[in-house]
Structure 1
Amino acid sequence: MNNRVALVTDSTASIPVDVADKLGICVVQLELKLGELENDERRIPHPDLAQAMRDGVAVETSPPPPPAFFWNYTDAVSAGVESIVSVHISEGLSQTCDSARNAAAEINLPVYVVDSRLCGLGIGYPVIAAAEAAAAGAGTQGVLSVLDRRLRSTTQMIYVDTLEYLRRSGRVGRAQALLGSALSIKPVLVLREGVLEPMVKGRGPDRALKKAVRQAAQRAGNGPVDIGIEHFQYADRANEVAEQLRAAVPQARRVVIAETSAIIGAHAGPGALGLTVSPVV
């Protein structure tokens, strides 16, 4: 693929492997430490992670080290591109952008490190759109323009069964006010300005997720839209929500159901479910 612009992202973007390969998107892995075991997040099975979290095993996450970015950027330079666009998880949730910037400083080529202010397929869909533009021959500014439009139009919601795991990891953000709520109250959070804050809540998961589906339908607008449902050990519920979204958003162009990044699962906890609404603009 002789693109003028290389796209790099990280593993929290949840881009399917076949899609990344087809479009030439480089995916850099974040790292996960589970007790004494430390590895790329893709190498730690989700069921093992979920059980460890329930058992109270210490879980830590960390951004890719700068060399992981450096070698991917070097490969892009060798391919003869004119620039690199590197798009990553919100700086309000991770230091991944800092690691990318440190590596970019060592590269003799323009590298545009973009804080998506999102996570999951909230990053994935805009990066896919930008990579499609690059594959169609767009230059740096064209690719950045497509990316910016999609990032600004995308909404990322996260249902959590409990806020406890976000509290432990220090990512609870503006949802702090909900701590101490009755156990039956289930929150749906939204990433706004890169930080989690309350959006809706309901008594029990069914009511909370129905409210989230209504919010997703409102934010989808009337034009074509890409929908993502990501879950952490919650496949049955994810499929139910997908059916509700297909009915509520008939103009959906793509609907992806996927197991979320282990990094996101490590913060949101077992039973978490993410909804991405990304209008095609």
Structure 2
Amino acid sequence: MARVAIVTDSTAMLPSDLGDAAELITSVPLQVIVDGTSYDDGVEETSPEALLSALDAHRTVTTSRPSPALLAEVYSKLAAEGYEEIVSIHLSAELSATCESSMLAARESPVPVITVDTKLVGPGVGFAVMAAAKVVGRGGSAAEARDAALERVAATQSYFYVDTLEYLRRGGRIGAAAALLGTALAVKPLLTIEDGRVVPHERVRTAERAIARLRALGVEAGEDRDAVEVVVAHLGSPDRATAMTEGLYEELDDKINGKIRVGELGAVLGAHVGPGCVAVVVGPCL
């Protein structure tokens, strides 16, 4: 059986402990541009604290895909290490050109590369990566890993709350949620990812009610399943994230596999949702 490597990007919010999968997975950083200076996502200059400081100071923060050249270099390195196939799993092509970079780099790769558009962002991408890694770990092919990743993606639900739509508007990632802009001051939007795009799910009148409804959506996503994996993500809102996690434990305790993973969004995602964002991602257990 061919040796298979997995490549993903820094938005995937992978677990800190990857176990045996660590040797299979390579993560490539997207770029965060602050006042015209570009940094790798995940370094000190793009920590959540640094991002919040930059946004608070009204500095210009934008993001960019990893270049095709960088991904081509990663693919060539993996081939040199003896890998014979690569599965490259990334955030939604509707929200980033990272998949395009992967497909361009694949043309120059010395080994076959399968690019997977998860049509998700953040933890949902990580869910796909871990599903692929499980298949590869037991000797599966690149095609089998791709299928496992997409199967888990199809069963994953992502909901998130933002204090304002302004950051999504600035980054051009607002999609169908643009319909809410005219009443943005009157509502607190709950959003989801549909066909790779950010779309409105519900309109709620206050932040308190929106957070309560977000919790209910997380419960609804998991209550009809035997076991689920849950991630709560946030930017600059540890209290909201803690309360959300406690509430989900109360409702889904017997269905949660292990612990709910709580994490702060990296700069690439955080720059597009802004401070106060809270997200709940629910997927099937591996």
Q: Residue 162 of structure 2 is aligned with which of 160, 163, 188?
A: 160
- Whether the 8 Å CA contact 1:7–1:85 is kept in 2: the answer is yes
- Give the superposition deviation at 1:180: 2.8
- Give the superposition deviation at 1:233: 1.0
Runs of at least 5 residues in structure 2 that lack an aligned partner in the other structure = none
Residue in structure 2 matched with residue 244 of structure 1 by the alignment? 247
Residue in structure 2 matched with residue 179 of structure 1 by the alignment? 181
Whole-angstrom distance in 2 between the partners of 1:138 and 1:80: 16
Q: CA RMSD in A?
A: 1.8
Residue in structure 2 matched with residue 101 of structure 1 by the alignment? 103
Whole-angstrom distance in 1 between the partners of 2:268 and 2:239: 21
- Whether the 8 Å CA contact 2:48–2:265 is kept in 1: the answer is no
Whole-angstrom distance in 2 between the partners of 1:211 and 1:178: 18
Distance 1:5 1:200, change over 3 A: same
- Give the superposition deviation at 1:54: 2.8
The one-letter code sitting in structure 2 at the alignment partner of 1:266 is A
SS of residue matched to 1:233: coil
- Whether the 8 Å CA contact 1:3–1:134 is kept in 2: the answer is no
Residue in structure 2 matched with residue 266 of structure 1 by the alignment? 271
TM-score (norm: length of structure 2) = 0.92
- Whether the 8 Å CA contact 1:23–1:135 is kept in 2: the answer is no
- Give the superposition deviation at 1:23: 4.8
Question: 1:41-120, aligned counterparts within 5 Å?
Answer: 41-43=41-43, 44-120=46-122
- Give the superposition deviation at 1:235: 1.2
The one-letter code sitting in structure 2 at the alignment partner of 1:31 is Q
- Give the superposition deviation at 1:67: 2.1
Q: Between 84-93 and 39-48, report the one with greater CA deviation.
A: 39-48
Q: Residue 211 of structure 2 is aligned with which of 209, 212, 215?
A: 209
TM-score (norm: length of structure 1) = 0.93
Whole-angstrom distance in 2 between the partners of 1:229 and 1:3: 36
* Matched residues, number: 280
CA deviations on 1:185-218 (whole Å, 9 max, x unpaired) are 2111000000011112322222112212222222
Whole-angstrom distance in 1 between the partners of 2:195 and 2:134: 26
The one-letter code sitting in structure 2 at the alignment partner of 1:137 is G
Question: 1:217-228, aligned counterparts within 5 Å?
Answer: 217-220=219-222, 221-228=224-231
2:257 is aligned with 1:253: yes
Residue in structure 2 matched with residue 29 of structure 1 by the alignment? 29
- Give the superposition deviation at 1:161: 0.6
- Whether the 8 Å CA contact 2:114–2:142 is kept in 1: the answer is no
Whole-angstrom distance in 1 between the partners of 2:272 and 2:227: 31
- Give the superposition deviation at 1:13: 0.5
- Give the superposition deviation at 1:79: 2.8
Q: Between 158-167 and 135-144, report the one with greater CA deviation.
A: 135-144
Residue in structure 1 matched with residue 6 of structure 2 by the alignment? 7
